[in-house]
Amino acid sequence: MAKRRRELQIARIRKELLVEQAAQLVGVTASAWNKWEQGIRTPTITKAFKVAEVLEVPVETLFGDLVSHEVAR
């Protein structure tokens, strides 16, 4: 989970987005985004794909464990 937090934060910073800006683009609150970066919460699969789209990073890079879990279901 620590790797995910780091990848999410790095991708956001590379896009030069503040937490508030990234959250708005994905359609969540800044608080929700912060919880994702801190590893407190995990986005839904739909939001995970939206995050990947906004940050222009493969969803597996950011949320590989989440995607793997959903595919296995």
Domains along the sequence of the chain with CATH: 2-72 (1.10.260.40)
Q: pLDDT tens digits for 36-52?
A: 999 899 999 999 999 99
Q: State the pTM of this model.
A: 0.84
Rounded to whole angstroms, the Cα distance separating 24 from 66 reads: 22
Q: Is the dihedral of CA 38, 42, 46, 52 positive or negative?
A: positive
Contacts of 48 (CB under 8 A, 6+ apart): 42, 59, 62, 63, 66, 67
* pLDDT tens track for 7-25: 999 999 999 999 999 999 9
3 state SS of 58: coil
